[in-house]
Structure 1
């Protein structure tokens, strides 16, 4: 009994009733538009206040207009989905955004028509039944109602009719609630079928998610390369300064100055990347910070800071390479690749001589870093996240990256096409 009462008058039933009444309200413009044509055809000037027959014909004429509008206007589906989630208690997955395919638009049109059509019937009953039920409930109390034109004086002369009138009024109210609950349950059951994501919606959502993950992966590489290089350089600078703190104060001052410069630049890059994450990856090109360093802007500074960390670096740039004329994307990625190559040498080889050579072929930029393998540690056979990040950067531009040990030296070779990603 309690479950039945909850189904008829519970919170969910009331919300679904409101959903149906909203559907009836949305049908009114279509009903009035249909009545413009139905009135002259039936010879009735105002079908809205005319015969019941004219009203039902106007209602039937409105439904095709409802279906057509849902096919034409793309906002019909997001509006319907929002109302269903808020009022119908549907927990299944529903589509997001406008319908993209013809099949999705047809299903949206069917749902919109069902909602407004059923909602109009329930709304009409909601307007008509409660006043009639109140009249029947008040008949035994007010004699004037029994004798009014709204009643049947001959009928209410019988005692049984007067006694049963309140019962009939209560039954009408219960039947109204039952019709509303049944209609609400019907719509809640059909919503996941008609408003579920279509294959095109799922594909678009998957592509959007993949693009978002790609952006976040690029941001993660920026953080790894920038912060990782800075920490490696600062660690070596601080260690060297500690060893000669008493004997070489000039070197200590130079090391502390390099640490200050390195950390300041890295904090700036970290703030830019975190700003992108906070703002939903809306700034910058392709999810990269707008202030990302390039070969043209900071290659010399990178080499200077690395040498200050105690790493001997010999850099050479081929005659065909002009950092100012490189594509911006290639210049940024090349800078990060050089930075990560130097960072790997700092972390894994220590203060060993490193050579960096940047050359240009007809269609690509080639970056080669080499350093002797340390005698105290085994050769590296695949690297960590840094080498994977270099390979990802090269692959996104359509290039290649190889790394490995040979003849007692570690060699990283990256080739970046100058035409951009393919």
Structure 2
């Protein structure tokens, strides 16, 4: 019983009733145009004095409504109204204008159905409640029984007079049931008639994929630039604290390195945030590259206490710009992983070379307990680890390269190959 009451008079039923009444209101101009056609054709001056002529005017006006539904804003407006009043999920509706013949045909069918059912329910909503209310109060208002426009003959019987309120209440329930049924019917058909076409779904999927790509790129840039800087600053500050009394010169150098790291990271962060703007927006710092920034990266990493031996058997200035940018981030993340997981006293070997048409980047460090716990050959984070290897693999994959990471004997080895041709 509760479910039936909710179906007939619940909030969703009331909103769908409003949706139908709006359809009836939209149908009125078309009914007026139809009356202009029906009146002269039947020779009747006032078609609204006859229910049959009103229905005929309504029938003539609906095809006109179907034609006007070709207006581009019809589908977006109807979709918005259906979403809020009929309770249809947003992803099941199309919000752009109808473009193909199929979309236009479905929009015309929906608009005609909405106005047709809406006109019927709206007309019933205007006519039934007053008549039902009159029946309900009929036993208590004798003046209504003498009304010549009432129900002659039947009301002379006592049983008819006693059942009049029941009949009036039943009419109101029937009206609510009709409105609820029509509203449910429209809500069920809305996805089929106003839903996105395969082309719309493909465009939406492409938009979501593009948005996800931008977000992933932003996440990688933030992780690599800010994460590396925080790791370096943490080790530098820790070393400076331990040697504060015994080696003031080292502390002074460490503080200078911290200042330089943070200042540079602010510039890199500005470049990363430029991704959220219009691409490479004017005024944003350029993204760091292997050609211009490798030496500074090594100096800052060594200032943090990490013993880095670098072998550069390639001229970074000859690298394609996309390869140079991504290679810098890969080297940065490789050194950052060594800082975080291997410890500041562990030697790290970096090799950058060009061989067989590929830029090859190798970072090696001895494996210790911390390294074994943090590193993962498949790029998935482990306790104490992060998403660095996954980000490196993503960068290499975008350029058509490959990544290999894992222990080789007692050495942790990260090896990345980036092709120098056909890059995107």
| TM norm structure 2 | 0.74
Aligned to 1:117: 116
Cα deviation 1:273-292 (Å, max 9, x = unaligned): 6x68xxxx8535399x9646
**Residue 301 of structure 2 is aligned to residue 306 of structure 1:** yes
Whether the 8 Å CA contact 2:80–2:95 is kept in 1: the answer is no
Cα deviation 1:349-391 (Å, max 9, x = unaligned): 8553645546699xx77353455x4386899883744343223
Q: 1: distance between equivalents of 2:11 and 2:416?
A: 67
**Residue 92 of structure 2 is aligned to residue 94 of structure 1:** yes
Aligned to 1:339: 332
- Give runs of aligned pairs for residues 190-205 of structure 1, distance below 5 A: 190-191=189-190, 193-195=192-194, 198-205=197-204
Whether the 8 Å CA contact 2:94–2:194 is kept in 1: the answer is no
Cα deviation 1:66-121 (Å, max 9, x = unaligned): 33444x34554444444344333557973353367655554444333222211110
Structure 1: 5+ residue runs without aligned partners? none
Q: 1: distance between equivalents of 2:280 and 2:331?
A: 21
- Give runs of aligned pairs for residues 393-404 of structure 1, distance below 5 A: 393-401=395-403
Would you say how many aligned residue pairs link Structure 1 and Structure 2? Answer: 406
Q: CA deviation at 1:221?
A: 1.8
Whether the 8 Å CA contact 1:140–1:162 is kept in 2: the answer is no
Aligned to 2:377: 382
Cα deviation 1:259-278 (Å, max 9, x = unaligned): 233245446656876x68xx
Question: Cα gap change, 1:375/1:35 in structure 2, threshold over 3 Å: closer, same or farther?
Answer: closer
Question: Cα gap change, 1:282/1:140 in structure 2, threshold over 3 Å: closer, same or farther?
Answer: same
Cα deviation 1:99-157 (Å, max 9, x = unaligned): 676555544443332222111101011112223344555666666655656447x6489
Whether the 8 Å CA contact 1:316–1:357 is kept in 2: the answer is yes
Q: 2: distance between equivalents of 1:340 and 1:2?
A: 61
Q: 1: distance between equivalents of 2:87 and 2:363?
A: 64
Aligned to 2:383: none
| TM norm structure 1 | 0.74
Question: Cα gap change, 1:23/1:383 in structure 2, threshold over 3 Å: closer, same or farther?
Answer: closer
Question: Cα gap change, 1:33/1:283 in structure 2, threshold over 3 Å: closer, same or farther?
Answer: farther
Whether the 8 Å CA contact 1:315–1:355 is kept in 2: the answer is yes
Q: What secondary structure does 2:417 align onto?
A: strand
- Give runs of aligned pairs for residues 23-422 of structure 1, distance below 5 A: 23-44=23-44, 47=47, 49=48, 51-70=50-69, 72-73=70-71, 75-89=73-87, 94-98=92-96, 103=102, 105-136=104-135, 150-151=149-150, 155=153, 158=156, 163=161, 166-167=164-165, 168-191=167-190, 193-195=192-194, 198-242=197-241, 244-266=243-265, 269=268, 282-285=276-279, 291=285, 293-295=287-289, 298-310=293-305, 311-312=307-308, 314=310, 316=312, 318=314, 321=317, 327=321, 329-346=322-339, 347-348=341-342, 350=345, 352=347, 354-355=349-350, 357=352, 366=359, 368-369=361-362, 373-374=365-366, 382=377, 384=379, 385-401=387-403, 410=413, 412-417=415-420, 420-421=423-424
Q: 2: distance between equivalents of 1:56 and 1:387?
A: 72
| Aligned-pair Cα RMSD in Å | 4.5
Q: 2: distance between equivalents of 1:383 and 1:137?
A: 77
Question: Cα gap change, 1:369/1:10 in structure 2, threshold over 3 Å: closer, same or farther?
Answer: closer
Structure 2: 5+ residue runs without aligned partners? 380-386
Q: CA deviation at 1:417?
A: 4.0
Question: Cα gap change, 1:130/1:204 in structure 2, threshold over 3 Å: closer, same or farther?
Answer: same
Whether the 8 Å CA contact 2:138–2:145 is kept in 1: the answer is yes
Whether the 8 Å CA contact 2:403–2:414 is kept in 1: the answer is no
Whether the 8 Å CA contact 2:334–2:414 is kept in 1: the answer is no
